[in-house]
Amino acid sequence: MADVFQIAEREFGSRLIIGTGGFRDLQTMGEAVIASGAEMATLALRRVDPNARGSIVDVLHDAGCFLLPNTAGCFTARDAVSTARLAREAFETDWVKLEVIGDDKTLLPDPVELLEAAETLVADGFTVLPYTNDDPILARRLEDVGCAAVMPLGSPIGSGMGIRNPYNLRLILEQARVPVILDAGIGTTSDAAIAMEMGCSGVLLASAVSRAQDPPKMARAMRMAVEAGRLAHEAGRIPHRLYAEASTPMEGVPELT
Amino acid sequence: MRVFLNGEPRELDEGATVDAAVAITGAPDRGVAVAVDGEVVPRGQWTSMQLQEDQKVEVLQAVQGG
């Protein structure tokens, strides 16, 4: 049976969502996106740079990616809502990765502004995917206002520290009725695999690939990690045990002394 | 007439419309959005909406971002 990943009404063949921030150039980004197998990629809006070369939109279209604009850099609900509306104009999509951060140093979400922005955007017809703290209560509130998924962080953006609070993530996973996507903090493949093994519906990562020494190779590794973690989750792991449990039968052991 | 185009003061003809400001920035054809004084201006209104003195015009395009 095909393992379909669905958010709102849209189905995706890959559970890896690639963030496009941090690549040294568009060509490397394109190669990495293709190697990742991702079918959805984030992008941002900034003032027009007359010296910019190439179009990220074209590269992502060529890679067959569905566009997920973000609201990175917004500190207030008001700015995030405006940015989402601008992105809807620019990219003709009502999907948004909603980011409302609390400060520059940690880039942690501001939960009060985030919830307000989510509520406004859902009412305005957006499909909202909020980047959120790993707080089960906030995740539930975001779901209650109509977010199409919740995207808790594993650790701060770009920190590569993996999943710092797996117990909170478990609580979020246990109660969620929308897809849970681990967003932020992935450093290497084992982090992504753990998120999927725990039961996340998907993983969103950028820096782990874009700032790797060989981004396309890391993208391919992440693709495999997400697939492996998903399969392991479905297969059902064995329990942890303090003592050994022999895998070779003791019955029929010969007497040799 | 002076407007602030992506934060820089620029002289435009009286009655200049949004699309004139967009053209100055060298924005690409696709993936562009405009806000005037913080309000989104839909693409369909670029050729009809006239700018006023001292308005803040933001012309945005797609960039890499996580």
Domains of chain A with bracketed CATH: 11-235 (3.20.20.70)
Neighboring chain B residues of A55 at a CB cutoff of 8 Å = 28, 30-31, 62
Neighboring chain A residues of B7 at a CB cutoff of 8 Å = 47
Give the domain ranges of chain B. Answer: 2-61
How close A251 gets to chain B, by Cα (Å)?
57
Digit-coded pLDDT (tens) for B12-25 = 999 999 999 999 99
Mean pLDDT of A217-235: 98
Task: For residue A86, give the nearest of B28, B35, B63 by CB distance.
Answer: B35
Catalytic residue among A97, A141, A223, A230: A97
pLDDT of A109: 97
With vertex at residue A40, the alpha carbon angle to CA A37 and CA A43, rounded to the nearest 5 degrees, is: 120
Per-residue pLDDT band for A1 (boundaries 50, 70, 90) equals: low
Distance, CA of A197 to chain centre? 14
Question: For chain B, how many helices (H) and strands (E)?
Answer: 1, 5
How close A238 gets to chain B, by Cα (Å)?
35
Contact B59 A47 (CB under 8 A): yes
Residue A121 tokens read as: 């955007």
pLDDT of A152: 98
Query: Is B5 touching A (CB cutoff 8 A)?
Result: no
- Kindly report which listed range (A19-33, A47-61, A101-115, A139-153) carries the lowest average pLDDT score: A47-61
Contact B64 A86 (CB under 8 A): no
CA distance A88 to A90: 6
Mean pLDDT of A242-248: 91
Flag whether pLDDT at A207 surpasses 70. Answer: yes
Neighboring chain A residues of B59 at a CB cutoff of 8 Å = 47-48
Contact A44 B64 (CB under 8 A): yes
pLDDT of A61: 94
Looking at domain B2-61, its CATH superfamily turns out to be Beta-grasp domain (3.10.20.30)
Contact B66 A22 (CB under 8 A): yes
Contact A57 B7 (CB under 8 A): no
Neighboring chain B residues of A82 at a CB cutoff of 8 Å = 35, 38, 40
Mean pLDDT of A176-183: 97
Neighboring chain B residues of A63 at a CB cutoff of 8 Å = none
Flag whether pLDDT at A81 surpasses 70. Answer: yes
Task: For residue B66, give the nearest of A19, A47, A90 by CB distance.
Answer: A19
- Burial classification of residue B23, based on how many CB atoms lie within 10 Å of its CB (0-12 exposed, 13-18 middle, 19 or more buried): exposed
pLDDT of A159: 95
ipTM value:
0.93
Phi, psi of B14 (to 5 degrees): -55, 135
Active site residue A217: no
pLDDT of A157: 94
Tell me the count of A-B CB pairs closer than 8 A.
96
Flag whether pLDDT at B47 surpasses 60. Answer: yes
Mean pLDDT of A189-215: 97
Q: Which of residues 139-178 of A touch B (CB under 8 A)?
A: 157-158
